[in-house]
Structure formats: structure tokens, C-alpha cells
Amino acid sequence: MNQSLILISALPLLGILLYFEKKESIKGLLGVKPILSSLFVITAFLQINQYSSYQYLILVGLVLSFIGDICLIFFFHKKVFTAGLGAFLAGHVMYTIAFSRLGEVGSVMITVGTVFLLTSVVIYMRLQANLGNMRAPVLAYISIITVMVIGAASFWDHTTININCRNFVLTGALLFYISDIFVARHRFVQKEFLNRAIGLPMYYSAQFLIALSTGLI
């Protein structure tokens, strides 16, 4: 199964996933989401011939994201949702280490870091009234995904790395961050299909871009 076939397969699966999200069918989601999420893991796995620390860390992060995806199907169940946050948090730690190990301090890192630190503070302040006893887990998650984006920006500043790889990583990290805003909105502000319709395509685009970067490093 090559990259093109995987991506072609992912598009209709994403459409079916959005259909079941709109119907709020747990059975439908359990039937489709694990398959779709496994594709970004497979995408990375098929590209890796000899593991570098970057490729290993990204693959582990993708597997943890796969676990998080399954947990978030049960977003209405606080313990399972928290477990999903934990899996994604651990995945972001893997991504952050992978990006930062190859990163350099530069203008993109400084600019992106400033913008996203301020954005994260505003988002948390807007959410905290609705978080209840989820404040600590959400704060931890917002913190690590912000650091992950900054790590991706530092990765982009390493100009000797393949430009497509750097673009995939930074774009993927930004899309991931934005998609999580819609996850938070769905869970803590207003539950509606619009959150899924916007957030899920961004999320899967992010994961596939990050997975594809493993073949360009």
C-alpha cells in the first residue's frame, strides 16, 4: 500500500466518519475511526527504512494519537476523555522532542512562539469557567501543544533540513493546534457538528503531514 493509495483511502473514510459524527453513532465511529487513524501510523511506518531518533519519536507519537482517537469517541465520559487527553499529551511530548532535537532558534520560532503563547493564554482564560475539575488536565494539554508548535517552528528554522519536510512539520503542527480548539469547544463550550466538520479534516491533515515528514528527513 503506497502513500497515494493510503491518502485516496483516507478521504472517503473521513467523509464516512463525519457522517457518523453528525449522527452521533458510537458504533459507526468505532467501525471507522480506528481504521482511518491507523492509516497515518501506516503512512509513517511504510516510509521508514532505517530508524532515526526523529522517525522513532514521530511513530510513537502517532501511535499515541491513535489511542487518543479511540478514547475521544467517548468524549461524554470524563474518565475516558481524560485518558484520551493523556494519550495525546504524551504524543505531543514525542513530537516536541522530535522537532526540538533538530530545531534552531530563529525568526520563525520567535514569531510563532510569541503569537501562540498569547493565543493559548487567551484560550485557557476563555475556557476555564467551563472546565470544573478538568482545569489541570486541560492546562497541561494546552501547555504541551503550545510547546509542540514552538518546537515545530524551531524545526523550520533549521534550514539544512529538506524544505518540504520543514513545511509539512510546521503546517501539521499549526493544523493540529487549531483542530484542538474545536475539540475543546465541542467538549466545554458548545457541542455541535460544526466543531467536527471543521476540526476533523484539520486533525487528519495534520497527522498525515507529520507522518509524511518521516520520509523526507
pTM attached to this predicted model: 0.93
Report d(CA 44, CA 212) in Å as an integer: 6
Are 39 and 61 within 8 A, CB to CB? no
Please list the pLDDT of the chain residue by residue as tens digits (217 residues). Answer: 577 889 899 999 999 999 999 999 999 999 999 999 999 999 999 888 778 999 999 999 999 999 999 998 886 677 888 888 889 999 999 999 999 999 999 999 999 999 999 999 999 999 998 998 889 989 999 999 999 999 999 999 999 999 999 999 999 999 999 999 998 998 899 999 999 999 999 999 999 999 999 999 8
Among 88, 43, 42, which residue's Cα sits nearest to residue 61? Answer: 88
Alpha-helical regions (H) of 24-104: 26-47, 53-72, 78-101
DSSP code at position 142: H
Report d(CA 89, CA 152) in Å as an integer: 16
Return left, alpha or beta for 186; rule: phi > 0 is left, psi -120 to 50 is alpha, else beta: alpha
The C-alpha cell that represents 45 in the structure block? 511506518
Contacts of 35 (CB under 8 A, 6+ apart): 13
Are 139 and 124 within 8 A, CB to CB? yes
